[in-house]
Amino acid sequence: MSTFIDGSMVKAAVLGLAVADALGVPVEFRSREELQLSPVTGMRGYGTWDQPAGTWSDDTSLTLALMASLTNGLNYEDIMLKFRLWYEKGEFSAHGEAFDVGITTQQALLRHRAGVAALQCGGTLESNNGNGSLMRILPLVFLIPEDAGVAGVMQDVHYNLIHYISALTHAHPRSQMVCGIYLHVAAVILHNDSLVLYEAVACGLKRSRQYYSDKEPYASELHGFNRLFSDQFALLAESDIRSTGYVVDSLEAALWCLLDTDDYRSCVQKAVNMGGDTDTIAAIAGGVAGLYYGLSSVPAEWLAQLVRRDYIERICEAFADSIKYETIINRTGILER
């Protein structure tokens, strides 16, 4: 891996995700109309989940669990065990409990507990296309090498890793594909300092569409992404953006917020105040916003209120120190299920 990934880069993405998650937790499921009357401008306490201000949810917890596992190399069974430690024991959580669990993720973890192999646990039905794998997939961007990111061209080996990590809980091709598109965009952002944000996003979308266009079963799903891949996507009105937990809606909402704003604060505030799945859409947007704008862009007052910030940073530092792309990418099992 030619790019040196340091702790500050990982922290920018993961703290960007965690802060946005925490902003959204108290108002999850609130309507857009309700939040227009009382918009979120900073950390709030209690609300939907009755949690103190700065509390993050499953979005951050499962991201941290994935990083903790990858710190020791790629092992799909270990990733699922780490996810279960969160679900069953409250590890990787803000206050020692898993208070928000998606149905598809929960079902996958219960299958694993019953003895099903990790890569066979994810839901494969069309109804399993929630955003539960998208919300935790961002750390994989740091395993994509510089040449792939600079050129905007990722290979099968990169997409296979993304698809398999998604499939641990969400194995439908559409969910895998959304994770691939999101990380292609993130990889271009990470490795192309010279590109403005719109150019980086456009490059990631174009190249990921090209990748999926001749690969089944993904090519059959492309029609559902026509709006996202359109040159007019960034020009859509907010009223056209659906802030639901459906994985395609979530990706559209997150990238639209990123493109419609010009700093981290505005991006995540817009994501939260669209209502609906506030914490997850904000986390998806906040992770790439942190990656693009840098850790210094995350408001200090929000970081100061973030629960267990030191704990999050320790996991980020350990992950950054351990990244050895060739070791992970060539490990047995990545190319075949």
49: in domain: no
Q: Are 246 and 131 in contact, with CB atoms under 8 Å apart?
A: yes
Report pLDDT for 229.
97
Per-residue pLDDT of the chain in tens (337 residues, 90 and over written 9): 334 677 899 999 999 999 999 999 999 999 999 999 999 999 999 999 999 999 999 999 999 999 999 999 999 999 999 999 999 999 999 999 999 899 999 999 999 999 999 999 999 999 999 999 999 999 999 998 877 766 667 889 999 999 999 999 999 999 999 999 999 999 999 988 888 999 999 999 999 999 999 999 999 999 999 999 999 999 999 999 999 999 999 999 999 999 999 999 999 999 999 999 999 999 999 999 999 999 999 999 999 999 999 999 999 999 999 886 544 555 444 443 3
Q: Domain tally for the chain?
A: 1
The answer to the question of residue 336 being in a domain is no
Query: Could you give the count of Cα atoms lying within 13 Å of 139 in the half-sphere of its Cβ?
Result: 32
In a domain? residue 2: no
User: Do 1 and 157 meet the contact criterion of CB atoms below 8 Å apart?
Assistant: no
In a domain, 238, yes or no: yes
Q: Hey, how many other C-beta atoms are within 10 angstroms of the C-beta on 209?
A: 16
Distances (CA, A) of 173 to 102, 109, 117, 123: 18, 19, 19, 10
Taking the CA atoms of 172, 175, 180 and 181 in sequence, report the sign of the dihedral they define. positive
Q: Taking a C-beta distance cutoff of 8 angstroms, is the pair 32, 276 a contact? A: yes
State how far the Cα of 257 lies from the Cα of 253, in Å rounded to an integer. Answer: 6
pLDDT of residue 32: 96
Query: Alpha-carbon distance 29 to 33, whole Å?
Result: 12
User: Could you give the CA distance from residue 276 to residue 24 in angstroms, rounded to a whole number?
Assistant: 10
- Other beta carbons within 10 angstroms of residue 294's beta carbon come to 16
pTM above 0.85, yes or no: yes
Q: In this structure, are residues 180 and 133 in contact, taking their beta carbons and an 8 Å threshold? A: no
Alpha-carbon distance 186 to 209, whole Å? 15
Q: Is residue 334 part of a domain?
A: no
pLDDT at 121: 98
Q: What is the pLDDT of residue 64?
A: 98
CATH of the domain at 234: 1.10.4080.10
In 168-223, where does DSSP find H-type helix? 173-191, 197-212
Nearest to 261 by CA among 285, 230, 225: 285
CA–CA gap between residue 323 and residue 135 (Å, rounded): 21
Residue 152 has a pLDDT of 65
Domain extent, residue 303, equals 7-40+54-329
Of 201, 181, 85, 194, the C-alpha closest to 137 is 181
Q: CB–CB of 51/45 below 8 Å? A: yes
Output DSSP code: residue 123. Answer: B
CA distances to 10, 117, 153 from 1, in Å: 15, 30, 15
- Is 14 inside any structural domain? yes
In sequence order, what are the residues at sequence separation of 6 or more whose Cβ sits closer than 8 angstroms to the Cβ of residue 6?
320
Whether residue 176 is contained in a domain is answered as yes
| Cβ neighbour number for residue 296 with a 10 Å cutoff | 9
Phi/psi for 180 (5° steps) reads -65, -45
- Answer yes or no: is 260 within a domain: yes
